[in-house]
Structures are given as C-alpha cells and as structure tokens.
Chains A and B, each alone.
Chain A
Amino acid sequence: NAGVIQTPRHKVTGKGQEATLWCEPISGHSAVFWYRQTIVQGLEFLTYFRNQAPIDDSGMPKERFSAQMPNQSHSTLKIQSTQPQDSAVYLCASSLEGSGQLYFGEGSKLTVL
C-alpha cells in the first residue's frame, strides 16, 4: 500500500512566481491535511479536507494561498506571487475518518529566491 505521495520534492521559484504542490493521499483515507514546517515556526496547520470538502482553512494565509481537492485521490496547494517567507517544507497528510493517526508524505521543500 503506497503512502502519501507529494510532488515535487523540491521546488525553487523566483519571487513573485506561482508554485503548485500536489498531494496524493492514501487510498481510502477521507481526511487530507496540509501543514507548513519551518525552523522558526515549527509545524503549522494550514488546511483540512474531509471527503474532498474544505472543512477548515484557518491556517491559510488568506491572500496568496489556496488549496483544492478536486477528487479523492488528489489535492493541490497553490501559492501565488511567492515571497521568500513562503520558503518552507509543505507536508501533506491523510487519515481515516475518526482516527487521530495521520500518515504524512515526505514533504515538498519550497525555496523562494
């Protein structure tokens, strides 16, 4: 059984460019989460989907960040007009409904120059 798959593993963008990160959750998992990890802030919750529906995006910077889950096998996190402070590892995780156990992907490391 494949784990959570995230692509790309590494992405370098110039300031002001757009970055899109992809996540394929574990088949059968109904919940998908996006986190951001930096040395300074640690792990920060961004957003959460349940059965493809957005449930909580309270951690998302409102203006430039957006997340979608167009189907049960795929979620995207898009950052428009990237800024150096967006540089981080973006982690996607999935879980079964009602389970506190999250399965994480290996993360996508975004570097904004």
Chain B
Amino acid sequence: AQKVTQVQSTGSSQWGEVTLHCSYETSEYFYVILWYKQLFSGEMVFLIYQTSFDTQNQRNSRYSVVFQKSLKSISLVISASQPEDSGTYFCALSEPLDSNYQLIWGSGTKLIIKP
C-alpha cells in the first residue's frame, strides 16, 4: 500500500487558489512532510515543510499548508496561481528526525495553470 498518496493531476485558471492534497501513513510521533515542485526541466525545487510538532500551518511566500494531523493529511495551497506554477508537485514524508537520508515520496500531482 502507498505510504504517501497524491492525486494524479489537477488544473486551475490563473490567479485562483490551488489546493493539492496529500495523505500519508506513519506511526511515528515526530515526522516531517515536505513539498517539492518539479519543473519541466526536471529540477526539483523545495517549497515548504511542516513538522508534526508544528501547531500552526506553515507559510512560505505564496505557498502554505493545511495540516490535518489527526487525519494524516496535508494540503499545499498556492495563492494567486500563475502559469509558471505549472509543474509536478511532490509530497514527501520524512521519519523520524534523524533519518534525513530517505524520504518517502508520493507519486506527484501534475498541475496545469491556464492563463
């Protein structure tokens, strides 16, 4: 069974708010969820992370997350979306604190933003 699950694709129009969903499985008390964007060139760009200890949803520029810890769900929210936001977005689970060596990746969500 998938440990990190994402929907395959979604789309939106420019300037709208986009929400990408991710659900995960873990029995760890401490873990980190990270979001990456893969550009069409193949480059992976880090966007934002949320730890299980964070009591507030994290925000980084136009990116924010909605963390529903009890549901083991985390959504990435992109505000004022632009065509340049098109790409594939990956959610990754890191557990526990010291195991930064192996992230468990979702299969990615392909996002298309139309002008």
Contacts and interface: CB of A to CB of B under 8 A. Distances in A.
B41 A101 contact: no
B49 A101 contact: yes
The range of chain B's interface size is: 20 to 34
Interface string A67-106: 0000000000000000000000101010101111111111
Contact of B98 (A33, A95, A98, A109): A98
A45 interface: yes
B100 interface: yes
Contacts, number: 54
18 contacts: A42-B107, A43-B90, A45-B103, A55-B101, A56-B101, A91-B44, A98-B97, A98-B100, A99-B100, A100-B32, A100-B94, A102-B36, A102-B100, A102-B103, A103-B46, A107-B42, A107-B43, A109-B42
Contacts of A89: 42
Interface string B92-115: 001001101111010110000000
Interface string B19-48: 000000000000010101000011111100
A26 to B, nearest CB: 12
Q: Which of B49, B94, B102 has the most CB of A within 10 A?
A: B102
A103 B103 CA distance: 12
Interface residues of A, number: 25
B42 A106 contact: yes
A11 interface: no
Nearest to B98: A98
Nearest to B90: A43
Contacts of B49: 100-101
Interface string A37-58: 0000011010010100001100
Contact of A48 (B34, B94, B101): B101
Contacts of A56: 101-102
Given A100-B32, A100-B34, A105 B102 contact: no
A21 interface: no
Nearest to A32: B101
A77 B108 CA distance: 25
A91 to B, nearest CB: 7
